[in-house]
Each structure stands twice: as structure tokens, then as C-alpha cells.
Amino acid sequence: MMRFILLLALLLAGAMPAFGAPQLVAENLSYDFGEIFRGEKVAYSFRFRNAGDEILQISNVRSSCGCTAAMLSSSRIAPGDMGELQATFDSSQFNGAVTKTISLDSNDPQKPELSFSLYGQIKTELALMPERVSWGKVAAETPQTAVITLINQGQTDVTLQEPRSTTPDLTLKLDSFQLPAGGQVQFTLTGTLPAGKSRIGGYVIIPTDHPRAAELRLPVSARLAK
């Protein structure tokens, strides 16, 4: 009797229809773009395949920030077909190590959410050393100075223009307006806290003819010693 029940169960199982499902299989989940200069863009296509036997439906695509755009080749991928996710990262607002992700939502029952990542190093082509000046607590009407070095780490000669500041409390003097590739220039920054004011806060702005760095901004601060 038991053998009969087992045999019947096997026959019924074989007669039941098999339910198909899509399966999203990515060629790779990450891309190392290496080292680029700030302001450059990185474009890369992530490829994936529907290894299942039902249509793969992509319902949502989202990126970790607005700096990374994502474009899908198609939201419906037939069984056996390939799809592409075109990712474009704009490095204009970043410096140093960075990782950005793009996530897909699909009807793959095993992986309803899948994330791809772009990562690498962002290098500043025109670097200010130091990147900011803070004089801390200062006496009123006592000039404060700082020597700033501007380094051209790129491969293009740069011409600087007359610097300006967002407050009359700050002035600066450039040694040279020509910044060759691989070279550097220095300028002297002077700030004076006027009587009656409690702080200095502003930017020194250096315009350039560089296509990816139209201007450099140096934040400067100080406060009245009491």
C-alpha cells in the first residue's frame, strides 16, 4: 500500500506543470575606472542576460546620487536575450576615493534587487595647498597672512586671471599668472578683521582658462579673540 502511495505521488508530481521564471545574470557587478581628474566623466555599460524562461521585467532603476545617470536598453528582456545598463558618472563635485551605485528592481524571484557599482580615485588637476585657511582667534585690525601654493597636476598649461574675494577684508597677490603643466605658483593672502566686526568669513576666487576648472575657491575664516 505504501509503495502504491509513493508511486502515485511521483506520477502526480510529474504531471504537474513546471512554473517558469526569469533569471537576471550580470557579466560583472562593478567597474574600476582607475584614476581620473576632477570634472571628467566616466561612461560604462553593464551587460546582463535573462537566463530564465520567462520575460525579465525591469520595474525600477535608481542611482545613489544625481551625479550618476543610468539608461536602460530595455525594460523587458526576453529569455536568452541580453540587456545593457549605461552608467555615466560626473566627477565634478568629488575628490579622492569614490564609489557610486545603481540598483535595478526586477521580477527575478531569486534576485528582485541587484546593484552595480562604479569606483575609483578622483584627482584634483589644479590643487590648492592648503585647501582652506583658518586663522582661528585674531585681534581686530591686525593683519593675518598665509602663503598659498597652487599646483598644476595636469598636462595642460593654465593661465590665471586677476583674483577676487567675496569680502573686502581679504586681499591676495599672485607671483605669476602663468601656471605650466606640472608647475606651481604661490600667492600671499592677507586678511584683516576690521574694528566692530566679530569674524571674517569668505572666499578667495581665482579664475582660470582651464576647461574643467573655470575658477578655484579658497575658503577663509577667522574670529575675534575675546
C-alpha to C-alpha distance for 52 and 83, rounded to whole angstroms: 13
The predicted pLDDT at position 1 comes to 55
Do 134 and 198 lie in one domain? The reply is: yes
The predicted pLDDT at position 175 comes to 79
Do 144 and 83 lie in one domain? The reply is: no
- Pick from 196, 189, 155: nearest CA to 171: 189
One-letter amino acid at 163 equals P
Give average pLDDT by consecutive 10-residue segment, the chain, 226 residues: 51 50 96 93 96 95 93 95 96 92 96 96 92 94 94 93 92 89 93 92 93 91 91
Do 85 and 175 lie in one domain? The reply is: no
The predicted pLDDT at position 8 comes to 47
DSSP 111: -
Do 158 and 177 lie in one domain? The reply is: yes
The predicted pLDDT at position 142 comes to 94
Residues 6+ apart with CB under 8 A from 138: 144, 193, 200, 222, 223, 224, 225
C-alpha to C-alpha distance for 169 and 198, rounded to whole angstroms: 12
Do 144 and 109 lie in one domain? The reply is: no
Neighbours of 216 (CB within 10 A): 20
The predicted pLDDT at position 19 comes to 59
Q: How many domains does the chain have?
A: 2
The predicted pLDDT at position 173 comes to 86
CATH number at residue 38: 2.60.40.10
The predicted pLDDT at position 60 comes to 93
The predicted pLDDT at position 70 comes to 95
Quickly tell me which residue has 560604462 as its cell: 44
Do 78 and 142 lie in one domain? The reply is: no
The predicted pLDDT at position 98 comes to 96
Do 176 and 138 lie in one domain? The reply is: yes
Answer whether residue 1 is part of any domain: no
Residue 87 — φ and ψ, nearest 5°?
-110, 135
Whole domain around residue 165: which residue ranges? 126-224
Answer whether residue 12 is part of any domain: no
C-alpha to C-alpha distance for 44 and 38, rounded to whole angstroms: 17
Which of 74, 105, 123 is the last residue in one of the domains?
123
The predicted pLDDT at position 2 comes to 57
The predicted pLDDT at position 131 comes to 92
- Residue 123 and residue 152 in contact, taking contact as beta carbons nearer than 8 Å: no
Do 158 and 114 lie in one domain? The reply is: no
